[in-house]
Amino acid sequence: MTRFEQYAGKYDTIRMERRDGILQITFHTDGDSLQWSSRPHHEFPEAFREIGSDPDNKVVIMTGTGADFSGPQATPDDEHLKRCMRMTPREWDQDWRECKRMLMNLLDIDVPVISAINGPVRRHSEIPLLSDIVLAAEEATFQDSAHFPCGLTPGDGVHIIYPLLLGLNRGRYFLLTGQTLDARKAQELGLVAEVLPRAELLPRAWALAEQLATRPPLVLRYSRILLVQELKRRMHDLLGYGFALEGLGVLDASEKPE
């Protein structure tokens, strides 16, 4: 078991506050919108593990900072992606372990999780979509900009969550074309439960969290465990496979012609 005081100020990319058992985690880079890099890739798995190990958490709210939920818009010149293209098998192994722990530790948080998506989510958009309740600001958009559009096989969990939520054909289209979905379209297609003005997003998330927190503790925990079981099964079956194929694709793309 962990306690809030042990991890609340531990992470450079996650700001945390808790009130009456409701934990709000806010992703950021130096106080502004989260810019995806090795730092959150290292920090998120451990942070989710500690949050899930704290028995005093009743509900978790996940949100972002500034204009975007996560970015930047990926291009082939993105430094993080260029680093991926140069990684050795041992470095890919480390990334695989981090990616697997990041998503599985998130699903192992045994209390309801609400995502309040404050703006465009262009990198690792599977993370907020694994929440039990997904809220989005009117400005939010969804895109998997860092995989197929940049020459990478769409692994990292996006190959699981998008075909599941959008349906097989729409999900494959989304991943293979780099499609961007605005908040209203995402709601229409089933990614998002509610779309709200940005100023109302976090108040609505807190109102829902307070409503959930009135339920008996074991009802809260067992409901979360039950409702993510199918997601965990799919992740167990397909997450490692997707990441392995992503790595093999990188090796092929990075080979120098003879």
What token pair was written down for 9? 């100020």
Catalytic option among 43, 50, 126, 246? 126
Residue 126 is a catalytic residue: yes
What are the distances in angstroms from CA 149 to CA 87, 165, 225? 19, 21, 35
Catalytic residues: 126
